[in-house]
Chains A and B, each alone.
Chain A
Amino acid sequence: MDAADLSQHISKRFNEELERLRNGVLSMGGLVESQLESAVQAVVVGDSELGLRVARDDYKVNRMEVTIDEACSRILATRQPAASDLRLIVAIIKTITDLERIGDEAEKIGFLASRLASMERPSDRYRELKTLGDHVQLMVHNSLDAFARLDAKAALATVKLDDQVDDEYDSITRQCITFMMEDPRTISRVMNVTWVARALERIGDHAKNICEYVIYMVHGKDVRHTDSEAIEREVIKGGKP
């Protein structure tokens, strides 16, 4: 009787620990989301102060990554989880790395925004960057929602969004090259724009990675470096075991 109570107690504590870990990852995700939003906002509006603040606040994201990483190691060492618990921990360790990278890219965008704010603004007011930024933010948001709900289908839908982001990135790059050829005086500004677009495209890739970890967590299948049809097959097959 006593032993049974104890084991139940331990597993309850363990559940709580895992739950807290998940909450931590998602609140880190929330911070990263708002950093990204502010960074894109800073570029589009031309708010150098906001951009610098994003760059300055990146330490918070880094600090959360370290804390969660330590908690993961502690659980691995003390609980020695197996099966789905282990997959959860592994997925968390990978997810926070990608979130931290997204934070770094947002920091970079913040810096570039403060630089762009002091330069001449183009007539379209960076509309393309805003559209790309909106798409990427949606990807990050959806990937974190999929993580919270352990929803492999939503994760798959988000992975597919990445193709669109890549297309938009290509078109921005082409446009930038045209600008630079037409008027070499704009080169330094347009280079910054290219870097912002590049950072956003990278964020899309990181969001895609997070979705792949969600699929791994739910189905136990590694779908990295495969095309989206293969992922789709995996998710649909795994959906009805």
Chain B
Amino acid sequence: MGGSIASVLAWRLAALTAVTVTLGWVVGGMLWWLLGLAVFTIVYFVVSIQTLEQWLRTGKRRSAATGTGVFAPIYSDIIQLKQRARRRKKRFHRLLREVRESTGAMHDGGVILNADLEIIWLNEAAGRLLALDVARDQGQHITNLVRYPAFVAYLERQQYAEKLQMPGPTRGTHLSVQLIPYGNEQKLLIVQDVTRQVRLENMRRDFVANASHELRSPLTVVGGYLEGLADDRELPGAWQEPVVEMQRQVRRMNSIVHDLITLSRLEAAEREAGDDPVDVPAMLGLLQREALTRATRPQHIELQVDDDVLVSGEEQELHSVFSNLLNNALRFTPEEGHVACRWWHDDTGAHFSIADTGIGIPEELIPRITERFFRVDSGRAREVGGTGLGLAIVKHALLRHGGQLEIVSAPGHGSTFTCHFPLERSLFRKVAQTSSA
């Protein structure tokens, strides 16, 4: 046997028909014989189909009537199909159990949300971290139970590239949450406990702030005495040069301490920068005039400013952004070089760029340039002054204004630093004024 049902059926029918026709020929009454064959075939099929249907419906694993004759292959096919489905089901069950168990054992919380931000599923860690009830809270809107305003705003913002840090429902805990959209409008909320990190970070910040404050007063005393010594006419000639050098170093330490304090204040400020209108064009004009009075400076310091564009933020912080960038450009550009500042706006917000023809930064070091005390060429940088904290301050101050720093540079050809301010922080002067150079 073997082959498809159709061929088996065809052979059997042909054989039966041949037998019937022979019988009809020999015995006579051909039509009756043929009719009998037809009735037999129909009855046989009806009965067989009914047994099959019954067997399928009762869903018994194996039936005594596994079918004989032509229907046997169908039975065995169905049995095979069923077995395969059963095996697959078992595998899925095992997989699902493993996934459940492993996510349950995870330290990070996971919450699956649907398009309406209703909870579909959560693991135990999420329940513990967010004070949710794993059994009861399914179907609840997540913001009904996690009501912290910054979290609600984060969900509404529809931009989930960044993580959000927020206090947890249990006193003194800190959580870091991120929403990951996937598949059919579903979202996965990842919750991490960052209490320890936040505490360590706070300790570090406090230490830097306190240490810089403590360093301030001894430095003032030393500086004061050195000033007195420098003015002293009776100072032996051999000491004059060292005293001047000491004064220079004290001044440098002072500016490092000052920058450290600025930086730790910027870091400690949890809230975003304020929203006072800041007259950036006037500020840039002033900075340019200051730069022009320097004894050694690049030949050309250009300023191209859109006078109608302002930024809402904190004046002092923005001032340190622009002055640090300008000072860097002046410091690393030779006297025959060129520094060009631009202040303009477009659809995405306000922008400040400063391009120099200085020494440039090797490309692989650009990502590290805003780190504290990072120097491209340590010997040279110390020679030209600077604290090594300027760009770190720029970065933090910009972050507080929702801005970004973009750096393009080629060694030997110069660098361009661009600050991008978002549209919601850009202001425009109501009355258009005639721009003055």
Chain A interface residues toward B at CB < 8 A? 19, 22-23, 26-27, 29-31, 33-34, 134, 141, 144-145, 148-149
Contact = CB atoms under 8 A, between A and B. Distances in A.
Contacts of B152: 27, 30
A33 B147 contact: yes
Given A27-B143, A30-B147, A30-B151, 16 more contacts: A22-B141, A23-B144, A26-B141, A26-B145, A26-B147, A29-B147, A30-B143, A30-B148, A30-B152, A33-B147, A33-B148, A141-B169, A145-B145, A148-B140, A149-B140, A149-B145
Given A27-B152, A149-B137, A22 B169 contact: no
Nearest to B137: A149
A134 B169 CA distance: 12
Contacts, number: 40
B289 interface: no
A34 B144 contact: no
B149 A30 contact: yes
Contacts of B171: 134
Nearest to A16: B116
Interface of B: 131, 133, 136-137, 140-141, 143-145, 147-149, 151-152, 169, 171
A134 B170 CA distance: 11
A23 B143 contact: yes
Nearest to A33: B147
Contacts of A149: 133, 136-137, 140, 145
B147 A27 contact: yes
A61 to B, nearest CB: 11
Contact of A34 (B133, B137, B140, B149): B149
Nearest to A57: B149
A26 B141 CA distance: 10
A34 B141 CA distance: 19
Contacts of A144: 147
A33 B148 CA distance: 8
Contacts of A19: 141
Contact of A148 (B144, B148, B149, B169): B144
Among B133, B141, B149, B169, chain A packs the most CB atoms within 10 A around the CB of B149
A227 B339 CA distance: 78
B149 A26 contact: no
Nearest to B166: A34
Contacts of B149: 27, 30-31, 34
Nearest to B146: A30
